[in-house]
């Protein structure tokens, strides 16, 4: 199945699920979920994956489940979003640099994440920056040059000691993110969405490569 875009029915399902997060509502709408959300998401993953696999053969393509793990989440049976994540299986997704796409009832987002970075991972990044800042700064400058993408992160309440004022911004971060956030728009309904995400992923690959080498 080639990716042809999502549809208004995709969001009919997501909004219905938001207000009816129970098995009594979901079961009669399961085919709507499969046909308008899950299958198009798998097709989008298949469209995006080859270019990522060619450069990062260790990464796998994961499409999330709609079903919540009842041992770990509040007592509602279903998630209100679905996402694609390009990652390895040897550690939790949040503790490794990943590329992702997510669809929610309100809109969509895609980009780069190291969301639940461990303290030792950020310490390794800071040490490498202190030792040799040039490669990382070059990657960030190239990424941010046209103003559409920006590396950000949650900030420590107390900034870490920084050897160079040019690095201060990065020494305050306790995780890393480059995210494009959008409300629902016509791009979601077009096969061109895959190409647009791919262009952003291409821009993010140097950052992904650097972080995988430095922080894992």
Contacts 24+ apart (CB under 8 A), 52-60: 52/86, 52/99, 52/201, 55/205, 55/209, 56/86, 56/205, 56/208, 56/209, 56/212, 58/88, 59/86, 59/87, 59/88, 60/86, 60/87, 60/88, 60/89
pLDDT of residue 176: 98
157, with CB counted inside 10 A (0-12, 13-18, 19+), is exposed
Q: Is the pLDDT of residue 142 over 70?
A: yes
pLDDT of residue 1: 82
**Residue 63, both tokens:** 């499409």
Q: Nearest-CA neighbor of 193 among 129, 108, 125?
A: 108
Q: What are the tens digits of pLDDT across the range 157-202?
A: 887 899 999 999 999 999 999 999 999 999 999 999 999 999 999 9
Other CB atoms within 10 A of residue 36 CB:
20
Q: What are the tens digits of pLDDT across the range 57-87?
A: 999 999 999 998 766 556 789 999 999 999 9
Residue 8's DSSP bridge partners are none
Residue 67's DSSP bridge partners are 78
pLDDT of residue 109: 98
Q: What are the tens digits of pLDDT across the range 6-65?
A: 999 999 999 999 999 999 999 999 999 999 999 999 999 999 999 999 999 999 999 999
């Amino acid at each position: 199945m080639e990716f042809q875009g999502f549809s208004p029915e995709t969001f009919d399902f997501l909004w219905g699920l938001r207000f009816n997060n129970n098995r009594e509502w979901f079961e009669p709408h399961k085919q709507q979920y499969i046909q308008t959300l899950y299958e198009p998401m798998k097709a989008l993953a298949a469209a995006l994956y080859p270019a990522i696999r060619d450069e990062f053969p260790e990464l796998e393509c994961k499409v999330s489940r709609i079903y919540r793990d009842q041992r770990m989440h509040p007592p509602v049976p279903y998630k209100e979003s679905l996402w694609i994540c390009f990652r390895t299986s040897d550690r939790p997704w949040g503790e490794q640099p990943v590329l992702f796409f997510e669809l929610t009832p309100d809109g969509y987002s895609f980009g780069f994440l190291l969301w639940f970075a461990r303290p030792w991972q950020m310490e390794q990044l800071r040490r490498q920056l202190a030792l040799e800042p040039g490669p990382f700064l070059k990657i960030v400058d190239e990424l941010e040059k046209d103003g559409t993408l920006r590396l950000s992160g949650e900030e420590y309440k107390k900034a870490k000691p920084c050897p160079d004022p040019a690095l201060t911004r990065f020494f305050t971060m306790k995780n890393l993110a480059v995210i494009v956030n959008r409300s629902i728009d016509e791009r979601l309904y077009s096969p061109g969405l895959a190409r647009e995400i791919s262009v952003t992923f291409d821009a993010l690959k140097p950052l992904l490569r650097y972080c995988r080498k430095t922080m894992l």
